[in-house]
Amino acid sequence: MKTLYLSTAEEDLKIGAAIIRTGGLVAFPTETVYGLGGNALDPEASKKIYAAKGRPSDNPLIVHISEISQIEGLVAGFPENAKKLADAIWPGPMTMVLKKKPAVPDETTGGLDTVAVRMPASPAALRLISLAKVPIAAPSANLSGHPSPTRWQHVKEDLDGRADAVIMGEPCVGGIESTVIDMTGELPQILRPGLITPERVTQVLGVPCDYDPAIMGRPDPGLIPKAPGMKYRHYAPKAEMRLFSGDKEAVERTVRETAEALRLEGKTVSVIMYDDSRDAAERLFDDLRRSDIEGVDVILAAALPEGESVAFSVMNRMLKSAGYNIQQV
């Protein structure tokens, strides 16, 4: 298929919305990463999404809405705490897992009896959903296994010829995918870490919020993540990636020395270091993709300091990218 490239102007968003309504796939910007969208209530559209990404079909999609009232058509119950979080945080980088209504096809939820719902903050995304007049199922708009796209050019690299249209919006400022929170239990639980932190959830709800223990460290065969997507190796650059953690100066020195040694061996190297965790979130996936385009052999990256929630969320991605290759210096 020939992919249509659209702007965020109203006329173009109308074209995108018509494609969604007639069962096609449209990639669009959100504040976190670009998504590959299709009609969430159409099982054939969801099947197309899996095929376009090369994604395992047991990994459920996130359903995007543009108004809180739309959630009533998707979920079997909207608990008080979920309402409070929606009011406080949406539109924003938070996805809530709730019991689904039968109207949501199994193809969209990977056969689960729950559905993940999110209201994104990007104006183009909100307008597209509202014009489509249907909720939009959208995973990140990358080929399965690749880093998520934070620019429309990344979407083009992965999905040109595989999506009906791509909306060429702004680069994403969030940079890592939304926080996924399971709201089906007694207490909220974070299944995928993101920019919405457990502290923020506790601040809104006044109850404790922890992480799914299966996402806390290296993958453990005895612990299966509740978000099926968290069990896959993601974000893998073509280059070998090595992480270094420890005192800032020691890390900088080790990275410099390692880079010199590798270059003497004739290897090309790129170095990734961030000022803070927000900056890291915004730039990480773009940096990984750029290293691949430049064809570097090895990426050397400074780990983010422990103890802060957004840093933990970014490190979750960096550790996967590096295949858990981390060295204490």
Contact residues for Mg ion, defined by CB under 5 A = 140
Between 213 and 253, CB nearer to ligand TXA:
213
Query: Quick one: what does residue 150 bind among Mg ion, ligand TXA, none, with the CB cut-off 5 to 8 Å set by partner type?
Result: none
Length of the chain: 329
Between 167 and 227, CB nearer to ligand TXA:
227
d(CA 280, CA 146): 18
d(CA 51, CA 74): 24
d(CA 173, CA 181): 21
Between 79 and 246, CB nearer to ligand TXA:
79
d(CA 103, CA 188): 25
Query: Quick one: what does residue 192 bind among Mg ion, ligand TXA, none, with the CB cut-off 5 to 8 Å set by partner type?
Result: ligand TXA
CB of 220 to ligand TXA, least distance (A): 17
Query: Quick one: what does residue 98 bind among Mg ion, ligand TXA, none, with the CB cut-off 5 to 8 Å set by partner type?
Result: none
CB of 99 to ligand TXA, least distance (A): 9
Residue at 132: amino acid letter: A
CB of 326 to Mg ion, least distance (A): 22
* Residue in the structure block whose two tokens are 């047991």: 58
CB 278 within 8 A of CB 237: no
Between 140 and 179, CB nearer to Mg ion:
140
Between 39 and 95, CB nearer to Mg ion:
95
CB of 327 to ligand TXA, least distance (A): 28
CB of 5 to Mg ion, least distance (A): 22
CB of 232 to ligand TXA, least distance (A): 8
Between 229 and 244, CB nearer to Mg ion:
229
CB of 206 to Mg ion, least distance (A): 31
Query: Quick one: what does residue 317 bind among ligand TXA, Mg ion, none, with the CB cut-off 5 to 8 Å set by partner type?
Result: none
- Locate the DSSP E strands across the chain: 4-6, 26-28, 35-39, 62-64, 94-99, 114-118, 136-137, 165-167, 179-182, 189-192, 210-211, 240-245, 269-272, 298-302, 326-328
Residue at shortest CB range from ligand TXA: 229
Contacts of 285 (CB under 8 A, 6+ apart): 33, 147, 148, 149, 150, 154, 175, 176, 235, 317
Contacts of 260 (CB under 8 A, 6+ apart): none
CB of 312 to Mg ion, least distance (A): 18
Query: Quick one: what does residue 61 bind among ligand TXA, Mg ion, none, with the CB cut-off 5 to 8 Å set by partner type?
Result: ligand TXA
Between 60 and 135, CB nearer to ligand TXA:
60
**Which residues sit at the interface with ligand TXA, rule CB under 6 A?**
30, 32-33, 35, 59-62, 95, 97, 109, 112, 114-116, 118, 120, 138-140, 177-178, 180, 191-192, 226-230
d(CA 52, CA 69): 30
Between 100 and 242, CB nearer to ligand TXA:
100
Nearest to 288 by CA among 329, 230, 236: 236
d(CA 304, CA 234): 19
Chain centroid, CA 4 distance in Å = 23
